[in-house]
Amino acid sequence: MKICLISNLYRPYTRGGAERMVEIIAEELIKTDNQVFLITANPFNLRAIFKPEIKHEFGIKIYRFYPLNLFFYINDWRYPRSIRFFWHFFDVYNWQSYFLVKRILKKERPDVVMTHNLKGIGYLIPWAIKKLKIKHLHTLHDVQLATPSGLIIKGQEKNWRELSQLNRLYIKINKKLFSGVGVIISPSCWLLDFHNRLNFFPKAKKEVLLNPIKKVINQRALPKRGKNNFNFLYLGQIEDHKGVLFLIKVFQNFCSLTNNKNVMFYIVGKGTKLARAKNLANQNPQIIFSGEVPRRELSKIFSKIDFTIVPSFCYENSPTVIYESFSFGVPVIASDIGGVGELVEVGKNGFIFAPGDEEDLLRLMRYVVENKTKVTRMKKNTYQAVSGFSSDKYVEKLLNLIESI
């Protein structure tokens, strides 16, 4: 088949797990002898407003264009809310994006289009696909169709439920724009239930498919760790809603309470709160900032780690970092929020704690440090947890879904 993937971001402009997932799917589809091309957004380039740039990477034909708007999506944090309001309006009704994508699809004539996050590339794209009568699968990654930020923070659910008329209108418009999608894919039951409660996609076929991982690392291939040291990891965006600032405070308390100099905390990632995070760390030699690390070098990071901590305050779909941690044989401690509980089996491949509960998290950190033998046994279970998430099995299920519509 000839398959089109559409994603707001794609390497090198990645920001989270959704873009990583698109990369994995595209590369796996190529292996199955399908013809693949991808449409994605590009930072401002005057020429790219009217004519997409075309490149070939890893056997994938990539169309990049600049969606005409006030700024490029990945830079949204730089602008005040008043400016972002107008940006969201133009994003929903981006006619330039509609006609340009429609023109590409007419030229390429794919058998099926798989869309992912469309925030920042245009919400009229599903209409273009519908007009051309092409099979359409859409994968959910967050709640961006229900709230422009794509975030619902723990403790602020009431604020979201008591929706303003403007937000209700936003939901109503998006329900209409995405009404023609043939298949909806969600990586978690929680996210699919969330959209079902709002009556999104009433006519679509709906499937829960856990995110794919590229490969599972053989535990024997990883270097052996020292017996006395213990290392925690945070891997992700350095932002308030991800809970990393809260985690730094908890680790500082852990250090003062236990006085254990053999426990280290690695922070890997970048974000707008990096400077604040370093200030909170207060030059603690047990906290190590590694910046952003290329995916190909993650094995070097995980080879040092005993436990990954995922301390999110926002409702998570199915965090990629948990899949990656498991694939490297590293159990997790994670906030019990959104779809996280669907991945973590307590006491088997990790632990969950109440979001933002410092005492609960501190208790678990002390427990795993003091029970290294149990932790070692848990490492073996992580491979079993992701054994069914391989990218080849995922794409096989995708192709079966395509045949069903």
**pLDDT tens across 95-138, in order?**
999 999 999 999 999 999 999 999 999 999 999 999 999 999 99
DSSP state of 69: S
Quote the tokens at residue 15: 């920001």
- Beta carbons within 8 Å of 37's beta carbon, 6+ residues apart: 2, 3, 4, 5, 60, 61, 62, 63, 108, 110
- Total-model pTM: 0.89
End-to-end CA distance of the chain: 14
Asked whether the CA dihedral 241, 246, 248, 254 is positive or negative, the reply is negative
Quote the tokens at residue 86: 């107008």
What is the pLDDT averaged over residues 207-226? 66
Q: Residue 56: beta bridge partners?
A: 61
Mark 119-131 as b/e (b = at least 16 C-beta within 10 Å). Answer: bbbbbbbbbbbbe
Q: What is the pLDDT of residues 174-197, one digit of tens each?
A: 999 999 999 999 999 999 999 999
Mark 73-88 as b/e (b = at least 16 C-beta within 10 Å). Answer: beebeeeeeeebeebb
**How large is the C-alpha radius of gyration of the chain?**
22
Query: Where do the structural domains in the chain lie, given as residue ranges?
Result: 2-212+390-403, 219-386
CATH number of 2-212+390-403: 3.40.50.2000
Q: What is the pLDDT of residues 329-349, one digit of tens each?
A: 999 999 999 999 899 999 999
pLDDT at residue 226 greater than cutoff 90? no
| Average pLDDT of the chain to the nearest whole number | 90
User: Where in 303-349 does DSSP place strands (E)?
Assistant: 307-310, 332-335
pLDDT band at 161 (very low <50, low <70, confident <90, very high): low
> Residue written as tokens 């723990």?
154
The answer to whether 349 and 325 have CB atoms below 8 angstroms apart is no
User: Comparing 2-212+390-403 with 219-386, is the CATH topology the same?
Assistant: yes
Q: What is the pLDDT of residues 344-401, one digit of tens each?
A: 999 999 999 999 999 999 999 999 999 988 888 888 888 777 877 888 889 999 998 9
Architecture of domain 219-386: 3-Layer(aba) Sandwich (3.40)
Of the given ranges (212-221, 281-290, 304-313), which has the lowest mean pLDDT? Answer: 212-221
> What was the pLDDT predicted at 222?
47
